[in-house]
Amino acid sequence: MSLFIPSAWAQSAPAGEPSPLFTLLLFGGMFVFMYFVVIRPQQKRRKEHAKLVANLGKGDEVVTTAGILGRISRIEGNFVVLEVADKLEIKFQREAIHAVLPKGTLKAI
């Protein structure tokens, strides 16, 4: 025997491996949890945003994802032209609209 290395003691074998059914149920439970916590709420938000974008109209006061406030002066296909100040218009994609504000919000700011 070596002076610096003590002799090793063998460990007993583990009591048993978990059954494949348990592992399958664990992964299935994790998927169901992720579906209800992550996937389903995201789908709901996406549907609400699509509905908001589809219902945009001329004169609506909106805020973009960049935080720019403006009034819709015209809609050109997939683009929206916002009037952000007198005689100043900016063109955005429809998907960039974050929320529709109540009428009169721009005057109050």
Write the CATH number for 72: 2.30.30
Same domain for 96 and 74, yes or no, is yes
Q: Is there a domain that residue 14 lies in?
A: no
- Distances in whole angstroms, Cα of residue 56 to Cα of each of 1, 49, 71, 78: 84, 11, 11, 11
Which pTM was predicted? 0.71
Residue 75 has a pLDDT of 95
Same domain for 79 and 90, yes or no, is yes
Domain ranges, residue 98? 57-109
Report which DSSP code applies to 18.
P
pLDDT digits (tens, 9 = 90+) for 73-106: 999 999 999 999 999 999 999 999 999 999 988 8
Bridge partners, residue 19, by sequence? none
Same domain for 50 and 63, yes or no, is no
Q: How many domains are contained in the chain?
A: 2
Cα 49 to Cα 52: distance, rounded to the nearest angstrom: 5
Same domain for 40 and 82, yes or no, is no
Residue 19 has pLDDT above 90, yes or no: no
